[in-house]
């Protein structure tokens, strides 16, 4: 993970750009993130909202294995 304490993921220079893409068409955005960054990725919606995209049931059941001691699960069923 390099010098950052976050997992790899997309970064945007323009705030909210990723959030706007997600709002307009979420499935391709999430699919693209998983394809580029793997089963666990981190990104931000705006300057303060940190999001982890977890695409593996194992990692959902064992969050401590990838460095999280607490997180909120939001299931997206599109």
Q: Where are the domains of the chain?
A: 1-78
Prediction pTM value: 0.68
Which pLDDT does position 12 carry in this prediction?
A: 74
Residue 74: Cβ within 10 Å count: 6
Phi and psi torsions of 45, nearest 5°: -100, 105
Which residues of the chain register pLDDT less than 70?
Answer: 1-4, 15, 66-78
Look at residue 24 in the predicted model and tell me its pLDDT.
92
In 10-78, the DSSP E strands lie at 40-45, 49-54
| Helix or strand holding residue 41 (H, E) | strand 40-45
Closest among 53, 34, 35 to 43, alpha carbons compared: 53
H or E stretch at 19: helix 17-24
| Per-residue tokens: 72 | 């909120």
| Predicted local distance difference test score (pLDDT) of residue 36 | 94
Tens digit of each residue's pLDDT (9 = 90 or more) over 14-35: 768 888 888 999 999 999 999 9
Q: What is the pLDDT of residue 72?
A: 62
How high is the pLDDT of residue 44? Answer: 83
């Amino acid at each position: 993970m390099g010098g950052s304490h976050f997992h790899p993921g997309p970064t945007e220079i323009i705030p909210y750009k990723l959030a706007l893409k997600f709002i307009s068409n979420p499935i391709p955005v999430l699919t693209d993130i998983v394809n580029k960054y793997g089963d666990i990725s981190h990104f931000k919606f705006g300057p303060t909202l940190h999001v982890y995209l977890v695409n593996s049931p194992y990692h959902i059941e064992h969050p401590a294995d990838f460095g999280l001691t607490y997180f909120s699960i939001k299931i997206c069923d599109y």
